[in-house]
Amino acid sequence: MSRKSSSDDSVFNGVSLIIAAVFVLSLADAAVKYFSSALPLWQLFLIVSCLSVPALAAWIGSRSKTARIGIASVRWIMIRSVLLLLMWVSYYSALPLIPLSVAAVAIYTTPIFIALISTRYAGEPLSPLGWAAVAIGFSGVALVLRPGAEAFSPAALLPVIGAVFYALAMVVTRRHCRDEHPLVLAFGLNIGFLVAAMIGGIASLMVSEVTAARAQFLLSPWQSLGWQQLFFIVGYACALIFINTATARAYQIAPSALVGTFDYAYLAFACLWGYLLLGEVPDMFTWAGMLLILIAGLLVIRAQNGQR
């Protein structure tokens, strides 16, 4: 009986990790939407950061005893952290206002924006296949959002804006933060979340009730927390650690094009949790747009892989 090669094992483990990561991520996002009426965003970010920053600091301290962990550029770490923070705020601000499936489709336009930004900023020209993927992807976005139609919600643009911020953050990571230790990047991001949460908390105390009512998830007064909210926050913090670790490991041990393909399982999981937890049923336009964006993302991955 022949045994599977270590290469086969790595591919299987990599695919398993990315599927597990997006499964947990989709559940965490659905939980954020579920608790959005009872837990303001800045309050969530502050408590999670208060848990993660000391944990990451201790982890970095323990690792620095055996290996030197330096910082190449504080400026670019800060820029990357701000871009990722803007991505999370844009995406999560939309969740109370639109179906989870629509938000998921919009945020997964990220590979399209990465390809466009890399063409202009990183000197990585797009092939004809890449340009075709961009056209297909934006057709999918138009089909889901339907600007000008009666069903159109301006809030649906927020995840698209988040995708742009995420794409910018990934290009910055590749161009300027490639030599930074992952723990340093994670620590910088969580420091950014902590500072932003404190500023957001102060802002929520200063705005009027009318303004707060227009953006409840961002500016509503902070709430007393029950055991359900506390359980969710601790689970959310643990989920983020697992998601970041599993995703990084998946891309380390399996081909990036393959892992990127299975990353799109998030779309299916988001629809599943939206239906089971929130009672949301995507319409035919959302399903069709999702298919086009999936095709576009796979074509972008194939085009980029073919250029290497």
Per residue in 158-214, pLDDT (tens digit) is 999 999 998 888 788 877 877 777 778 888 888 988 998 888 888 777 765 655 556
Continuous H helices in 4-145: 6-35, 41-64, 74-94, 100-107, 110-121, 128-145
Could you tell me which residues come within 8 angstroms of residue 172 by beta carbon, excluding any fewer than 6 positions away? 76, 79, 80, 83
Cα end-to-end span (Å), the chain: 37
Retrieve residue 308's tokens. 């290497």
- Say how many C-beta atoms besides its own lie within 10 A of residue 255's C-beta: 15
Cα distances (angstroms) measured from residue 123 to each of 31, 171, 245, 290: 39, 11, 30, 29
- Residue 106, number of CB atoms within 10 A of its CB: 27
Domain boundaries defined on the chain: 15-306
**Per-residue pLDDT at 123:** 65
Could you give the C-alpha distances from 92 to 78, 101, 204, in angstroms and in order?
Answer: 21, 13, 17
Question: pLDDT by residue for the chain (308 residues), tens digit each?
Answer: 444 445 555 778 888 888 898 899 999 999 989 888 778 888 888 888 888 888 888 888 887 766 677 777 888 989 988 998 999 999 998 888 888 888 888 888 887 887 778 777 756 676 787 778 888 888 888 887 776 565 567 888 899 999 999 888 878 887 787 777 777 888 888 898 899 888 888 877 776 565 555 666 677 777 788 888 889 988 988 888 788 778 777 776 777 666 777 888 888 899 899 988 888 888 888 888 888 888 887 787 776 665 55
pLDDT score at 215: 62
Amino acid identity, position 179: D
- pLDDT, residue 83, reads 92
Dist CA 205 CA 214 (whole Å): 15
Q: Are 243 and 20 in contact (CB under 8 A)?
A: no
User: Tokens 């230790």 correspond to what residue?
Assistant: 181
Nearest by Cα to 258 from 19, 17, 15: 15
- Say what the pLDDT of residue 3 is: 46
What is the spatial distance between Cα 147 and Cα 157, in angstroms, rounded to a whole number? 10
